[in-house]
């Protein structure tokens, strides 16, 4: 148990170290190029994207004259850090431009260690029982073998046939025992041959399974890398948008940037769910709506930076467990963002999500319109009807509130072409 616990701790520590190494290796060269071109906005976006990576709590770029960009929260204790020199090759010379510092919270090591230990306790108990049983059988194997042999001998006697006992000294009783032993040896040889055939078949099956597992692991690595890179690109794009939104005072431009931020965030959350679950066939829509709905209601993080209250406080969610595939989740998330962005964030809003029992997902949104117009509803209608072959209806209810009902399949229907 102590060895297993130590192994879990080392694995958790290695995950944090690998996350720091990967963050430095992935962003050192792009940050060097951005510093060389004096593009401070891109440096800020890349540093902010760094803090969106798993296990990364804080990141900073310093040129020696002060920090150029800094994002995240730097903890006072339980911190693991990585540093890298940012340099650029120019005319055969390597010119140092600054240093990149990335920090992760070492508290995650203890958390993963405790979770792994809790999962392994039932396995450790099972191993103790298995080893105890094996030792008991090993000690008594001689007695058990003799009992089984005697049982097989007696099983071959037919008590329904009357037997004549041979007279003493005739030697027939010894011959009968010899015949029984010879039959037992023949059965044992047949058993060993059958066992050898089973072992050979099992070895072939294990070899085939190992090849399949290796192929699956390779595909999992490729798929994970694809989702990881896509998510990083979307996070960099979100960082650039948020920088522009902080520097923009024009309400029209701010509204356009806020809409773009909501759409990009909807796709980023889908890819994050894929990276975490690694299952293209099943994406939890209820978890997606729970995380994305408050973001879409307030129009993104930069659309209303001076709002004192959280507009998501009046959001009521009634979500049942619902799963769908990737080709449904992406357009569904975009349509959900368009519908929620068109509602008044200061008024109560209710969202219901569930299954209709026929392989379709039902969505209801009730809230007060925000005066954005009909373009967002038209885009949501196009996504649901044309791409997902679903239905979307809207109507007014009491007190000027809007009720929107949508149904989509949990898998995108195959194209007739």
**Residue 199 pLDDT level (bands cut at 50, 70, 90):** confident
Of 165-179, 211-225, 301-315, highest mean pLDDT: 211-225
Half-sphere exposure of 220 (CA within 13 A, CB side): 10
Mean of pLDDT over the chain: 76
Least confident of 109-123, 145-159, 264-278: 145-159
Is the confidence at residue 124, as pLDDT, over 80? no
3-state secondary structure the chain: CHHHHHHHHHHHHHHHHHHHHHHHHHHHHHHHHHHHCCCHHHHHHHHHHHHCCCCEEEEEEECCCCEEEEEECCCCCCEEEEEEEEEEEECCEEEEEEEEEEEEECHHHHHHHHHHHHHHHHHHHHHHHHHHHHHHHHHCHHHHHHHHHHHHHHHCCCCCCCCCCCCCCCCHHHHHHHHHHHHHHHHHHHHHHHHHHHHHHHHHHHHHHHHHHHHHHHHHHHHHHHHHHHHHHHHHHHHHHHHHHHCCCCHHHHHHHHHHHHHHHHHHHHHHHHHHHCCCCCEEHHHHHHHHHHHHHCCCCCCCCCCCCCHHHHEEEEECCCEECHHHHHHHHHHHHHHHHCECCCCCEEEEEEECCCCEEEEEEEECECCCCCHHHHHHHHHHHHHCCCEEEEEECHHHCEEEEEEEECCCCCCCC
C-alpha of 10 from chain center: 22
Is the confidence at residue 204, as pLDDT, over 50? yes
Of 2-16, 17-31, 129-143, 274-288, highest mean pLDDT: 17-31
Of 106-110, 125-129, 362-366, highest mean pLDDT: 362-366
**Residue 105 pLDDT level (bands cut at 50, 70, 90):** confident
**Residue 305 pLDDT level (bands cut at 50, 70, 90):** very low
Backbone angles phi, psi at 58, to 5 degrees: -155, 145
pLDDT one-digit tens code per residue, 8-22: 667 777 877 888 888
Structure tokens at 103: 């920090």
pLDDT one-digit tens code per residue, 51-99: 887 778 888 898 888 888 888 877 766 567 888 998 888 888 888 888 8
pLDDT at 312: 47
**Residue 258 pLDDT level (bands cut at 50, 70, 90):** confident
pLDDT at 277: 64
Of 214-223, 279-288, 343-352, highest mean pLDDT: 343-352
User: Which domains are delineated in the chain?
Assistant: 2-109 (3.30.450), 223-409 (3.30.565.10)
pLDDT one-digit tens code per residue, 399-415: 778 889 999 998 877 65
**Residue 178 pLDDT level (bands cut at 50, 70, 90):** low
Of 143-152, 166-175, 269-278, 362-371, highest mean pLDDT: 362-371
Least confident of 33-42, 276-285, 303-312, 406-415: 303-312
């Amino acid at each position: 148990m102590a060895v297993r616990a130590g192994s879990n701790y080392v694995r958790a520590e290695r995950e944090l170290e690998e996350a720091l190494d990967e963050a430095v290796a992935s962003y050192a060269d792009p940050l060097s190029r951005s510093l060389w071109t004096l593009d401070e906005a891109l440096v800020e976006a890349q540093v902010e994207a760094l803090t969106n990576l798993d296990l990364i709590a804080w990141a900073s770029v310093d040129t020696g004259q002060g920090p150029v960009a800094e994002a995240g929260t730097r903890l006072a204790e339980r911190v693991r850090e990585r540093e890298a020199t940012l340099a650029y090759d120019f005319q055969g010379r390597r010119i140092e431009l600054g240093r990149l510092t990335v920090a992760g919270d070492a508290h995650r090591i203890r958390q993963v260690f405790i979770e792994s230990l809790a999962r392994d306790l039932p396995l450790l108990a099972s191993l103790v029982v298995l080893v105890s049983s094996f030792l008991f059988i090993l000690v008594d194997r001689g007695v058990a073998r003799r009992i089984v042999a005697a049982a097989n001998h007696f099983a071959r006697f037919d008590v329904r046939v009357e037997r004549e006992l041979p007279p003493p000294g005739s030697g027939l009783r010894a011959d009968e025992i010899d015949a029984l032993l010879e039959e037992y040896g023949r059965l044992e040889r047949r058993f060993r041959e059958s066992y050898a055939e089973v072992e050979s078949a099992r070895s072939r099956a294990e070899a085939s399974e190992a090849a399949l597992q290796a192929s699956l692991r390779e595909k999992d690595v490729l798929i994970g890398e694809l989702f990881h890179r896509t998510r990083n690109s979307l996070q960099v794009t979100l960082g650039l948008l948020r920088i522009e939104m902080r520097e923009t005072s024009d309400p029209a431009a701010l509204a356009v940037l806020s809409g773009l931020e909501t759409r990009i965030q909807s796709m980023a959350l889908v890819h994050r769910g894929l990276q975490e679950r690694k299952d293209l066939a099943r994406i939890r829509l209820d978890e997606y709506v729970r995380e994305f709905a408050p973001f879409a209601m307030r129009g993104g993080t930069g659309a209303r930076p001076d709002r004192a209250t959280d507009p998501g406080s009046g959001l009521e969610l009634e979500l049942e467990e619902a799963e769908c595939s990737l080709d449904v989740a992406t357009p569904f998330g975009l349509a959900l963002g368009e519908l929620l962005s068109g509602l008044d964030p200061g008024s109560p809003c209710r969202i219901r999500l569930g299954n209709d029992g026929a392989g379709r997902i039902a969505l209801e949104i009730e809230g007060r319109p925000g005066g954005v117009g009909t373009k967002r509803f038209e885009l949501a209608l196009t996504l649901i009807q044309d791409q997902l072959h679903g239905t979307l209806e809207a109507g007014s209810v009491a007190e000027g509130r809007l009720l929107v009902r949508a149904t989509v399949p949990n898998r995108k229907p195959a194209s007739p072409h």
